[in-house]
Amino acid sequence: MKDKYVIAIDGPAASGKSTTAKQLAKMLHYVYIDTGAMYRACGLQTLKQNISLDDLDSLAEMLQDINIRIEYAAAGNRIFLDGIDVSERIREADITRLASEIAIIGIVRDKMVDLQRKMGENGGVIMDGRDIGTVVFPEADFKFFMVADVKTRSLRRWQEAKDKGENLDLAAVEAELCWRDKNDSTRSHSPLRQAKDAISIDTSAMSIAEQVAYIYQVIQEGKKNV
Ligand code: CDP
């Protein structure tokens, strides 16, 4: 009997994916893989190497050598690019935008998907992103698609920034989220969309504890049927 599942959680920004995935990973003793962080690291690399996103030859070269490493830790994963810890840098606004821009490009996606499949091949992983249930692991054991209304998501991102001491303009946060939602869901390569067999969860009025408990229960009940 299989007991090391692949669990896919997809959805738009600030829908609750990463917070939920992190907690579930702890409860299940699974590894949490934040695929968005990998696109962010790619974006940062283009900035460091001064590569324009329409220069496909340089991008291909960059992707050949890219060294992204995730260090799994209970206190939170750390992400390393060429051996340097970029966990904080990749959360900054310029990289958030760049990640969504670079995620449109086919050769970038092919490389990231390849790395992600290797990371998850033995199961025991919770992977969050935009295309995990549709493209990376279409055969995932459990698939969830988290959504929340844009006002709630904007407020969450605004609050997150505030907790870090940043005072952002709420309307600007909302505009950026809307831009990213559109960019992520209208691209031709692996657009953000719900897999047919994913369970959809609207977290607008849910607490983190409720989200986690709900998914945990689905997995426990699913387990009984394996
Ligand atoms: O944390 P947040 O939801 O703001 O974003 P993220 O998950 O870190 O992802 C950053 C960007 O990477 C997204 O806006 C997507 O464009 C892209 N991405 C993707 O295309 N496919 C994934 N599997 C994960 C992220």
CATH code where residue 55 lies: 3.40.50.300
Q: How confident is the model at residue 14 (pLDDT cuts 50, 70, 90)?
A: very high
Atom of ligand 1 at shortest range from CA of 103: 20
Q: Does a structural domain hold residue 1?
A: no
Atom of ligand 1 at shortest range from CA of 101: 16
The pLDDT, as a whole number, for residue 79 is: 96
Tokens of 55: 């220069």
Q: Does a structural domain hold residue 63?
A: yes
> Which is higher by pLDDT, 74 or 206?
206
The pLDDT, as a whole number, for residue 225 is: 62
Q: Does a structural domain hold residue 42?
A: yes
- Structural contact between residues 27 and 216, judged by C-beta atoms closer than 8 angstroms: yes
The pLDDT, as a whole number, for residue 1 is: 41
Atom of ligand 1 at shortest range from CA of 183: 16
The segment with the largest mean pLDDT, out of 111-115, 164-168, 218-222, is: 111-115
Q: Whose CA is nearest to atom 23 of ligand 1?
A: 129
The pLDDT, as a whole number, for residue 74 is: 74
**What string of DSSP letters covers 95-120?**
HHHHHHHHTT-HHHHHHHHHHHHHHH
Q: Does a structural domain hold residue 95?
A: yes
Domain extent at residue 103:
6-220
Q: Does a structural domain hold residue 225?
A: no
Amino acid at 26: K
Q: Does a structural domain hold residue 155?
A: yes
Q: Does a structural domain hold residue 226?
A: no
Q: Does a structural domain hold residue 59?
A: yes
CA dist., res. 51 & res. 43, Å (int) = 10
Q: Whose CA is nearest to atom 16 of ligand 1?
A: 100
The pLDDT, as a whole number, for residue 2 is: 59
- State in Å: Cα 99 to ligand 1 middle: 7
Rama region for 107: left / alpha / beta (φ>0; ψ in -120 to 50; rest): alpha
Count of the separate structural domains present in the chain:
1
